[in-house]
Structure 1
Amino acid sequence: MEPFTVRHVTLHGHELSYLDSGKGEVLLFIHGILGSHRNWSHLIDRLDDNHRVLVPDLFGHGHSAKPMGDYSLGGHAATLRDLLDRLGIDRVTLVGHSLGGGIAMEFYYLFPERVERLVLVASGGLGREVNPILRSATLPGAEYVLPVIASRWVRGRAESAGRLLSKVGWKPGSDITAIWQGFTSLGDGESRRAFLATTRSVIDPGGQSVSAHDYLPDACPVPTLIVWGSRDRMIPAWHAISAQQAMSQCRVELFQGAGHFPHLDEPDRFADVVRDFVASTRGDQCSDAAGA
């Protein structure tokens, strides 16, 4: 059962789902590829006592519609802007994981006057390197292979193997659990099409094809927190250091031993770090500059 009520809004003829809880400064959480609001929902009651926590499912993911259309970073950023407009929210702190980090940076680049702060969690868009599994989704013919490996038969065999391993003491970590939950969402053609369109918009066979380093140095400085797991096998943690060197007002928190989902590995620490970051930074410099 969902611990919070899933709400729905229609944007450009398609239904977008989201969670909305609390009052105060708005934290907008953006999940990654194959993710959904469930990757963040465990943080809501850790943060909504003095923040308004907004957690959407991107189009193509979770409970949201999976239409034909634009699944680029800019397309997702524009959808989030439209959601904020519909809810009457002017400014937010963006918290983006993986693909969501890339969307957060694109949103900041396109709509800087609406961003208080950036929190980038194992973010895409900060370097070329990415796990070969994601690169394989961009190869010709992936659309024919994916239905086979995501079929009910294959998923059933994998789940049976997992149950057998659990009987001898194996426990899947946060990375495996989250990735598996995402993988199981690919059982229908619309979800697979949206996944391939999203992946191919930011990755090619050689790695990540979109780099924030091309435009962030010219954007209005904004307080930025980068969180990474030291054992991230999807995107290397050293991307955090290169980003810190390229961005002013940037703080890095490395979670030792965590993987690609540090907010799942250490949710209490993650919530504390975000809360401290918001409380200790002033995020209206871009508005000041625009009004000068």
Structure 2
Amino acid sequence: MAIKAIRMPKWGLAMEEGTIIDWLIAEGDAVAEGDEILEIETTKITNVLEATNAGQLARIVARTGEVMPVGAIIGVLTEGEVSEGEVDAFLADSPAVEVAAEDDEDDTALALQTVTVNGRRMNVAQAGSGRAVVLLHGFSGDHGNWLFAIEDLKGAARVIAPDLPGHGASEKDVGDGSLATLADTVAAMLTGMEVSDAIVVGHSLGAAVAMRLALDHPALVGQLALVCPAGLPGGVVNDDFLSGIVRAEKARDVKKALQLLVRDPATVSRDMVDGVTRAIRLDGAQAALGVLRDRMLDGADFAALHGALDALPPVTLIASRNDTIVGAPDVAALPDGWAVHWLDDAGHLPHLETAAEVNALLRALI
């Protein structure tokens, strides 16, 4: 006999509570480890909680619509013959909220710092220790797009997630907006942090920056992981999304653009829309994004990458069959030896939509 609590998870260090959107199973249903059991909305995004143990869902504690703090019991899972009374006793004896150790008592605490490189101020998030894993976000994003990856990887690596120039809390000056300029800025940041031979993970535009970084500063990059990358042969660039962000005047314009990123439009939460809306309203933000958009649509930087793919270090490519932003790369045009993983259950944001699957692939590189 075993009784285990299902608790509100902590997805990202900023998460304090979550809203129960929908239970995907009913009381009495059998559950296997890894099964999707309920949808939870955070201030960042709506995500699915997977079972960490097998058993039977004996009790739903938090119903649809309830807001629960991180660590609170939201359900009970049992194995073997367990009576209702035993479940009641388990709940009565369990703390309402499981308190985790304070983040500042170990080296996995997320630290934010501002560094100046190549005359540009950059906001950088760091957590953990060990080999460096550098996370580069995509167009109009910031380091918060990696909240699930940071939380998952920080116990095994030194995770470094900057806001790229023109994004987040970093300087809005993007220069000519070229991949080389962005990569040189990241290179200067990593050099100042005494990083070399890093695993560099890039999403979308960030993946193209990661490839340029590896080509122009090879000592800094030991491995690449490209998540729905922009700039590969066969790929596209969705101007509806890029210009939708650059021209957005109201939150509803931002929401319409963001819904292009995901397979299920309901994944885009109000807080996610509000966060991007606040970011692009900062002085110079949309002008900077406009420079980057024009450079991406021009395509010359991407074409230069195509002729140099053979010179890249080992590459893990994570691509989505439902990506309407950069499309599907032409795998036949890629160098031999690339490890290619296709995802079927996400759009352009698999590191948020199917975080567990992406994180498992990234952990395998460490």
In the superposition, the TM-score normalised over structure 2's length comes to 0.62
After superposition, the Cα gap between the structure-2 partners of 1:189 and 1:90, relative to the gap in structure 1 and judged at 3 Å, is same
By percentage of residues, which structure has more helix? 1
- C-alpha separation between the residues in 2 aligned to 1:157 and 1:234? 17
Q: Deviations over 1:246-283 (max 9, x none)?
A: 2232111111121001110111111111111x14xxxx
Q: In the alignment, is residue 232 of structure 1 matched against residue 328 of structure 2?
A: no
After TM superposition, the structure 1 stretch with the greater mean CA deviation from structure 2, 171-180 or 38-47, is: 171-180
1:110-149 equivalent positions in 2, closer than 5 A: 110-127=216-233, 128-134=235-241, 136=243, 146=247
**Residues 156-201 of structure 1 deviation map (CA, whole Å, 9 limit, x = unaligned):** 6887xxxxxxxxxx97225998677535522244001110111112
Give the root-mean-square deviation of aligned CA atoms: 2.9
Higher share in strand = 2
Out of 331, 336, 356, the residue aligned to residue 241 of structure 1 is 331
Larger Rg: 2
Contact 2:204 2:230 in 1 (8 A): yes
Q: Distance in 2 between matches of 1:176 and 1:257?
A: 22
The aligned counterpart of 1:251 is 339
Letter in 2 for 1:72: S
* Counterparts of 2:357 and 2:168, CA distance in 1: 26
Question: In structure 1, which of residues 11, 29, 32 is the aligned counterpart of residue 138 of structure 2?
Answer: 32
Q: Sequence identity, in percent?
A: 26
Does residue 94 (structure 1) correspond to residue 200 (structure 2)? The answer is: yes
Unaligned runs of 5+ in 1: 160-169, 280-292
Residues 253/174 of structure 1: CA separation in 2 closer, same or farther (3 Å cut):
farther
Bigger shift: 60-69 or 31-40? 60-69
Distance 1:85 1:116, change over 3 A: same
| Cα distance change on mapping 1:156 and 1:272 into 2, 3 Å | closer
Task: Name 1:186's counterpart in structure 2.
Answer: 280
Structure-1 residue corresponding to 2:353? 265
Give 1:39 shift.
0.5
Q: Does 1:210 align with 2:302?
A: yes
| Letter paired with 2:221 | V
How many angstroms apart in 2 are the aligned matches of 1:179 and 1:71? 25
Structure 1 residues 37-186: aligned runs within 5 Å: 37-67=143-173, 69-127=175-233, 128-134=235-241, 136=243, 146=247, 150-151=248-249, 154-155=250-251, 172-173=266-267, 181-182=275-276, 184-186=278-280
Cα distance change on mapping 1:155 and 1:208 into 2, 3 Å: farther
1:7-18 alignment runs, 5 A limit: 7-18=113-124
The code of the aligned residue for 1:57 comes to: D
SS at match of 2:291: helix
Q: Given residue 289 of structure 2, which amino acid in structure 1 is its aligned partner?
A: F
Q: Distance in 2 between matches of 1:158 and 1:13?
A: 30
100-109 vs 9-18, which moves further: 9-18
The number of equivalent residue pairs is 250
**Structure 2: gaps (5+ residues):** 1-11, 15-109, 256-263
> Partners in 1 of 2:141 and 2:294 — Cα distance?
16
* Mapped contact 1:19–1:56 kept (Cα < 8 A): yes
